[in-house]
Amino acid sequence: MDKTLLGISMLFFLAFVVFMTFMVFNDQLTTAARASNQSFSPQRSLVFGWPLNLKADGKERAEITVFIRDNEGDAVPNRIVSAQTTLGTLDKDTVQADANGKAVFTLTSTTPGLAELEAFVDNTPITTRISIQFQ
């Protein structure tokens, strides 16, 4: 076999392998690249609390849920979320968000009053804040 023909055949085979790899793994590569570079949006991220009125007995609990979103509203997974409250006690200082960008805290208080809660993603505050009333 001629060396030129062998070289062209090898080049064709290599191009075919690269093309097929790109076609087969394109979605996974795109998703992995997007997830690693995905930044969160403080304005699009959400903070919810339920219930909003509780007894200040240290037993009743409000569940605080934080959803981390990017500028398109898509979930941003695996980021560190922290929260601060003006009244009461949170069960955790920080939580790592799950694959859906969700992090959950629990708030209790033995002191009556209004607890104002703020959440942070990588030390950047989320725009949405909530208030829980303890009676």
Tracing tokens 């075919």 back to the chain, one arrives at 16
Q: Each residue of 22-58: pLDDT tens digit?
A: 777 766 655 555 554 578 999 999 999 999 999 999 9
pTM for the structure as a whole: 0.71
Q: Are 55 and 34 in contact (CB under 8 A)?
A: no
Model confidence over 72-96: pLDDT tens digits? 999 999 999 999 999 999 999 999 9
DSSP H helices in the chain? 3-37
Maximum separation of any 2 CA atoms in the chain, in Å: 90
